[in-house]
Chains A and B, each alone.
Chain A
């Protein structure tokens, strides 16, 4: 009888230990999956934005006509060069827009392509990058003392041109977060300075 009680007690202790290990392992797994998901979204967002922006023109991203802000950029990508006359850059017919949506904690990439038929509706394609919690668009400016500062691309004058117009660079800062309960919110931040090539 004593042997049975002792064995049962040991069994209960071992099983409890295993259960605790499994529960904490599951929590760890959920946290790891959330971290992987956030990292993946952040990396995907910065890759897309960087690749698009490199092929843009600073005058398009910085122009007040395209409403640049820390949450929004709009431009057309360069598709080639027309060597006729003095020469001029050829632009893609599609317009690209990136918008940070705070309520959805996301960035939306919207590509608007004019219809191939006269009077037809433009074709709009969207991509969504989730778990992005902060506006992503900044630029690096030279300080009077020779150093550098990172500032938002918001125009100094409402409706005016953005500092990107002058600096020719876009600093992309993507802050990703996802809450997994129990007060756990894995965060991942990536920052990249992109030289606008055109």
Chain B
């Protein structure tokens, strides 16, 4: 009887020992699991920071500050994945300091990884625009008062140009359109007016053949008119003065007081001033500073230094 009691007590002690051993193993496994989760989230945070850098690099123009989040539908953990990018110009140079932070937030903790890069901004070559008016067609009618080039007075107009859109801007038409403020001739915010800023793209859909006729072209940047374009510069209502590059895929007529300080490129025939020859004072004045500024919004970027903080 006494021996039975000893056996029971001994069994009980061994059971406790085994349970203790199992407890230690469980704790070790739990610690290892936490360690692995932190490791995985750290790797995720690093690639989120890299995604932020890639996002800035893929946008046209100068690097900008931005943020973003990513959702993984197959992740049931409730983690949130985000990146935050701060871009700042280094002095007045063409270089930018871009600091991208990848952030993984999970219950009870946050993991951050920071990537710090220097980006060099490379705008398209402005010297490809050398004339007041350049056209791929062989028809170009104008009067001397309609064109002015103080940089190189001989470079007033050029017919039969062989330059292609992609060569001039460094991007395709589709990319330009995708990065533009987009309108059609029926969705212009203000009737008879294009107020340009950055890249403005207008598709012409009305008329046969489609033709856009407006009174005012103001603002700055690059304006792409996809269709025939009749710019009737009217003095009142803010006038019609545009600084930058006007690119027309079709025919162009400029008249009245319409002024472009920069350059005009026409894919086909151009006809300036003829429509209102008696009163027309349409003017295209070649301005390389405005051309360079306009092309700034198409700058590509290259990473010249990379480090992780």
Contact = CB atoms under 8 A, between A and B. Distances in A.
Interface of A: 4, 7-8, 10-11, 14-15, 18, 21-22, 25, 29, 32, 36, 43, 51, 54-55, 77-81, 83, 87, 89-90, 197-198
B90 A54 contact: no
A43 B307 contact: no
A90 B39 CA distance: 30
Nearest to B113: A51
Contacts of B95: 81, 83, 87
A15 B307 contact: no
A89 B4 CA distance: 82
Contacts of B118: 80-81, 83
B17 interface: yes
| Interface core residue of B39, B307, B308 (most chain A CB under 10 Å) | B307
Interface residues of B, number: 26
Interface of B: 3-4, 6-7, 10-11, 14, 17-18, 21, 25, 28, 32, 39, 90-91, 93, 95, 118, 120, 303-308
Given A80-B118, A83-B95, A55 B90 contact: no
24 contacts: A11-B6, A11-B7, A11-B10, A15-B14, A22-B21, A25-B18, A25-B21, A32-B25, A36-B28, A43-B39, A51-B308, A54-B306, A55-B306, A79-B307, A80-B118, A81-B304, A81-B305, A83-B90, A83-B118, A87-B95, A87-B120, A87-B304, A90-B305, A197-B306
Dominant secondary structure at the A interface:
helix
| Interface core residue of A4, A29, A79, A197 (most chain B CB under 10 Å) | A197
A190 B305 CA distance: 28
A4 B308 CA distance: 73
A197 B14 contact: no
Which 7 pairs across A and B sit closest by C-beta, in order of nearness?
A: A197-B306, A81-B118, A81-B305, A83-B93, A83-B95, A11-B7, A18-B14
B306 A8 contact: no
Contacts of A197: 303, 306
B38 to A, nearest CB: 11
Contacts of A89: 304-305
A133 to B, nearest CB: 22
Contact of A22 (B18, B93, B120, B305): B18
Given A14-B11, A36-B28, A4 B3 contact: yes
| Interface core residue of B3, B90, B120, B306 (most chain A CB under 10 Å) | B306
A25 B14 CA distance: 13
Given A15-B14, A36-B28, A78 B4 contact: no
Given A11-B10, A18-B18, A25-B21, A36 B308 contact: no
B305 A198 contact: yes
Contacts of A32: 25, 28
Contacts of A79: 307
Contacts of B11: 14
Given A11-B3, A79-B307, 11 more contacts: A10-B7, A11-B7, A25-B18, A32-B28, A55-B307, A78-B307, A80-B118, A87-B120, A89-B304, A90-B305, A198-B305
